[in-house]
Amino acid sequence: KPRNTIPSRSISRSGALQRRLLVAICFSFLNRCSGSTMSHACQTSVKLNNGNQMPMFGLGVFKADPGQSTYSAVLWALKSGYRHIDTAAYYRNEADVGKAIHDSGIPREQIFVTTKLWTGFGPPIDYNGTLAALKSSLSLLRLQYVDMYLIHSPNDKPNRLEQWRALEAASKAGLAKNIGVSNYGIHHLQELEKVATILPATNQIELHPWLTREKLVAYCQSKGIVLTAYSPLAKARKMSDPALLAVAQKYGRTPAQILIRWCMERGYVTIPKSTKEARIKENMDVSFDMDPADVKAMSSWNSNMLTGWDPTVNQ
91 has catalytic annotation:
yes
Closest CA to 114 of 132, 98, 103, 131: 98
Q: Which is nearest to 160 in space by CA: 238, 168, 229? A: 168
Residue among 71, 91, 184, 268 flagged as catalytic: 91
Which are the catalytic amino acids?
91
